[in-house]
Amino acid sequence: MRTLKQAKVGETVKVVKLNGEGAVKRRIMDMGITKGVEIYVRKVAPLGDPVEVTVRGYELSLRKNDAEMVEIELLKGKRQGTT
């Protein structure tokens, strides 16, 4: 399964599952990243950390370690620049 860390800039993805436990998982959920939500990948820093996304209408920066806990699927036809 792909993770948010592996998503490319311009992709819109859907959250399938949140891994992790305890406070870390709760913090990710508090940021609005929950199962079924769509996330648009805006930017990735040159060294891959952090990842900047748009979720629920606001911009959010996630550390690489946090993005790795979010399992995703690519939404068909939602990649910018494709037909």
Of the spans 14-18, 47-51, 79-83, which averages the highest pLDDT?
14-18
pLDDT digits (tens, 9 = 90+) for 20-62: 888 989 999 999 999 999 999 999 888 878 999 999 999 999 9
Average pLDDT over residues 66-76: 90
Q: What is the full DSSP assignment across 53-66?
A: EEETTEEEEE-HHH
Q: Is the dihedral of CA 40, 42, 48, 49 positive or negative?
A: negative
Q: Where are the domains of the chain?
A: 2-74
SS3 81: coil
Query: Cα(20)–Cα(3) distance, rounded to whole angstroms?
Result: 13
Architecture label for domain 2-74: Roll (2.30)
Taking a C-beta distance cutoff of 8 angstroms, is the pair 79, 69 a contact? no
Mean pLDDT, rounded, for 2-23: 91
Q: pTM of the prediction?
A: 0.83
